[in-house]
A and B are shown apart, each in its own frame.
Chain A
Amino acid sequence: MSGKAVLILVIGFTMIFIVMGYFWGNIATRSVDNHTSYYKNTIAHNIAVSGANLGLHEVLKDSSWNTGISKDYELGHMNVSITPWDTTRILTSEGIFMNVKDTVKVKLLLSTFAKYAWWIAAVSTGSKNKRTWVTGDTVWGGFHSDQFLNIDGDPVFYGRVSVEKGVNMTAGSNPKFLGGLITGVNVAWDNNMKLTSQAAAANEGVAQGGTCYFDNQNLWLTFNSDGTVTYRTAPKSAGDDSSSYSVPVTLPLSTMAPTGIIYLDKGDVYVSGTLNGQVTVVSDQSSGSGGGNVYLVGDMIYNTDPMLPDGDGGYVPNNASTDLMGIIATNNINISTSVQSGGYQNNIVDPDIRIDAGIMCISGGFNLIGLGSPPADVPLGQIYLQGSMIAGKEEKVAIYNDDVLEAGYSRHIVLDERFLITPPLYFPYSDGYEIISWLE
């Protein structure tokens, strides 16, 4: 009898332990499953991200790359594909790990130079340390240099900063990179870029009855806030003496430049005023002909501000502004400080200079005339640029002693954020793509 009871007891306890063991074991299994599931998702995700990075590396090396990638990677597998060459492309990367799949999708856009607030391919002459960014210099928008970025003080960069050779900072400097900093990035630049499409557009404008193609002379343009533009011409020998120029002719901008471009070959353009409309001014230079410069003889602004203060020290795009200007020069774009007659003296009377435009200097740079000599041997004020400055060479607009401005202008650069979507008319694109969205 007692033997049976013991047997029942043993069997009973055994059953209970089996059930409880199964239950608790199941909990442990589910707990491991939970961790494993997260682990598998994470690894699949990481493989997909790695695939996207590998694919982007290929696209940045060769913008026509479309081979794709399919290979085993980190005990998983990656498949990378990309849509054919076009203005926009979509790169898709799949990461597969233990039957778990994750996808990263990256949208690419053919990059316009106008997306940078400040872009430099090279420095011209002298020590690299002569072109420093100092306390008081502020850039709202992307910044790129194929050279060093030299810092002496506390400049502020609100957009992404990319530099090829790195950042040189003097001791005690405390720059602010609020949009990120990437080093080792080269953006290809062609110092001999041909402006053939711009010339063709100007010829098309002439065919439509416009007066927008000039050559072998100087051109003086004053934009008026009522949507007209006043122009004068002179032989190249007239230089910066405005009294030598022809009788002013004022035309509606759309009449003068029906295709939105005013093109001068073999001469210099002198420009100022208030633009009401959209236009790109080109100063081209055929080989050995001279010219190819633009002189800013006063403020060159839009009728409607493109960017508005946001109240917190920053700026937001003004959607009401439809004015859009590009200024492209084969050589330099100069801030004039000449005391010759004409509008030149504006830049002396008004201590600051305001420019609303995307400006590009193909083989030259953005330059201050006579820096270091009267009247540009003292601090003149600030350059308020709302737009974009692209230059083949970095020229000088200021002389600093440590981080103290001794002569010229400090820089207050605000990217016209509309350029991220719509660059000025006929503004050149780069050969490469940029990432415009990353979905993971």
Chain B
Amino acid sequence: MGIAVILDIVGSIIIGGMLLLTLFRMNVTATQNTFNFSGELIVQENLVTTIEVLEYDFRKIGYCEEPFNIPNPARAILFADTSRLVFLTDVWPHDGIVDTMEYYLGPASELSGTPNPNDKFLYRIINDVPSAVNLGVTMFKIKYFGVLNEELTTPITTVPTGVFSMQIDIGVENTAAYNEEYRFAFWRQVRLASRNLTNR
């Protein structure tokens, strides 16, 4: 076996090794990117799903298919706090019966089973029957404004609350992420006003 052959073998090993390292590195990067990109997509889809449900519900504060079952919609908000809102509405299929809906954000300790330490249940409670969904919500904050656009001090417990519009902030992260690099998406509804609150 000549020197040239040995050099060929050593060279091949070095080049092959470099290729293998490149492949491994590429595999790792591809996996990481796949997790991150997929995670980003999931976060954004969860965010849109959450806000679509939220907008759908909040726009119906004080709504009832039989309007006189809520004679004074200004009384429809029963309790308002920074991450909790209780109100009267008429949920699908809009049967004319007044329902009580509550939204609030649970503590992070309830979701200790997920790798993400920040995600929380966003509770949607209809007539005291809760449904908790983990869409990776980590932040749910509401500010309340009166008719003169003045910010109202929370919690608001007296009815009518004087709430005319709300600013809603929602943050969503993925529940699990590669190397704990959680993706974050944020949405703010600058002013959401239910028309029913002031229609009478």
Contact = CB atoms under 8 A, between A and B. Distances in A.
A31 B44 contact: yes
Given A437-B196, A438-B196, A439-B94, A421 B68 contact: yes
B63 A434 contact: no
A137 to B, nearest CB: 17
Interface string B134-165: 00000000000011100000000111111010
Interface string A15-41: 010001001100110110011011001
Interface residues of B, number: 42
B37 A178 contact: no
Interface string B25-42: 010001001100110110
B67 to A, nearest CB: 4
Contact of B26 (A16, A35, A142): A16
Nearest to A142: B200
B40 A313 contact: no
Given A38-B48, A178-B160, A436 B41 contact: no
A176 interface: yes
A314 B160 contact: yes
A314 B158 CA distance: 8
A421 B67 CA distance: 9
Given A16-B26, A115-B200, A159-B74, A34 B48 contact: yes
Interface in B43-101: 44-45, 48, 51-52, 59-60, 63-65, 67-68, 71-72, 74, 94
B196 to A, nearest CB: 5
A310 B146 contact: no
A371 B65 CA distance: 48
Interface string A30-69: 1100110110010000000000000000000000000000
B195 A27 contact: no
A306 to B, nearest CB: 12
Nearest to A115: B200
Nearest to A162: B198
A37 B51 CA distance: 13
B197 interface: yes
B159 A314 contact: yes
Nearest to A41: B52
Q: Which 6 A-B pairs have the closest CB atoms?
A: A180-B198, A178-B162, A438-B195, A436-B67, A437-B67, A179-B74
Given A158-B74, A312-B159, A440-B60, 14 more contacts: A16-B26, A31-B41, A37-B48, A109-B67, A159-B72, A177-B146, A177-B147, A180-B197, A435-B195, A436-B68, A437-B67, A438-B194, A438-B196, A439-B94
Interface of A: 9, 16, 20, 23-24, 27-28, 30-31, 34-35, 37-38, 41, 107, 109, 115, 142, 158-160, 176-182, 310, 312-314, 317, 417-418, 420-421, 434-440
28 contacts: A9-B19, A16-B26, A24-B34, A27-B41, A28-B37, A30-B45, A34-B41, A34-B45, A38-B51, A159-B200, A177-B146, A178-B161, A178-B162, A179-B160, A179-B162, A180-B74, A180-B164, A180-B197, A312-B157, A312-B158, A314-B158, A421-B68, A434-B200, A436-B68, A436-B200, A437-B64, A440-B59, A440-B60
